[in-house]
Amino acid sequence: MLIASWNVNSVKARLQNLLTWLEEAKPDIVALQELKCVDEAFPRSEIEALGYNIETFGQKTYNGVALLSRYRLEDIIRGIPGFDDEHSRYIEAVVSTSSGALRVASLYLPNGNPVDSPKYPYKLAWMAAFEKHAEILMQNEEAFVLAGDYNAIPSPQDVHAPDAWEGDALYRPETREAFRRLVNLGLTEAVGTLTTTGPDTYTFWDYQGGAWPKNKGIRIDHHLLSPLAADKLVNVRIDKHTRDWEKPSDHVPVLIELDMA
């Protein structure tokens, strides 16, 4: 089973790229972020024509997350339970496979910049609420995958110029510590577990300053897996070639493969 995560940076603006990639990569489940449209404006028919079930949690102009799945999506949760949030940043569902149920989520964690504004406390509060929810999921002893744009750079190896990012909300010590607390619940960070992270594993390049051709990137798109899901992890892949396409997203798809046999 291929499970992908992609911040498309406007699903309507990148629709052709998304459709091309879906036909090329043939993922089984896709977590999308930054839809930038309400549910009614999501290009449902074009994606359903490729064989996907769809659940969205949209928002006009900003944010928005979705799950695409070749399996039926059930037990839908929109928003982190118990967390009062006016933004559409989290959606969760359960799929049933021949080897059992798998819970999947798509999340778009707040950026948090500038750090001297209310945006950074909001980011940390969101991460704390997400950690609490993930802890509850762990207590249920389920197989689950929490995939998305975490807006968190885990380590110096995951950024092209660590010194230049000191003080940025994505790399502040508080952000990295919050991300470590998530992992320390017993979760497995897929790419960092199966590969040596560094310049070859960046997932985001800014549109400015020639970041993409100079590979001045960062790694902020992650899959966190419960122990039962991590036991099935066999491969990871980053589809960096999509960054070369016309009108690309500033993120690229990140895929994991689970052996569900």
Dist CA 255 CA 158 (whole Å): 17
Question: Residue 148's closest CA among 93, 187, 174, 109?
Answer: 109
- Exactly one of 52, 90, 108, 150 is catalytic; which is it? 108
Question: Residue 122's closest CA among 155, 168, 84?
Answer: 84
C-alpha distance from residue 242 to each of 14, 25, 65, 140, 228 (Å): 11, 11, 20, 37, 31
Instruction: Say whether 235 counts as a known binding-site residue.
Output: no
108 is catalytic: yes
Instruction: Say whether 111 counts as a known binding-site residue.
Output: no
Asked if residue 233 lies in contact with residue 190, where contact means CB atoms within 8 angstroms, the answer is yes
Instruction: Say whether 174 counts as a known binding-site residue.
Output: no
191: tokens are 């790419």
149 is catalytic: yes
Instruction: Say whether 151 counts as a known binding-site residue.
Output: yes
Dist CA 235 CA 176 (whole Å): 25
Q: What is the DSSP letter of 14?
A: T
Dist CA 91 CA 113 (whole Å): 23
Residue type, 159: V
Instruction: Say whether 184 counts as a known binding-site residue.
Output: no
How would you label 31-49 residue by residue, b for 16+ Cβ within 10 Å and e otherwise? Answer: bbbbbbbebeebeeeebee
- Exactly one of 52, 120, 149, 222 is catalytic; which is it? 149
Instruction: Say whether 259 counts as a known binding-site residue.
Output: no
52 is catalytic: no
The residues facing 207 across adjacent strands are none
201: tokens are 């594993």
Query: Catalytic residue numbers?
Result: 108, 149, 251
- Binding site residue list for Mg(2+): 7, 34, 149, 151, 250-251
Q: What residues form the annotated binding site?
A: 7, 34, 149, 151, 250-251
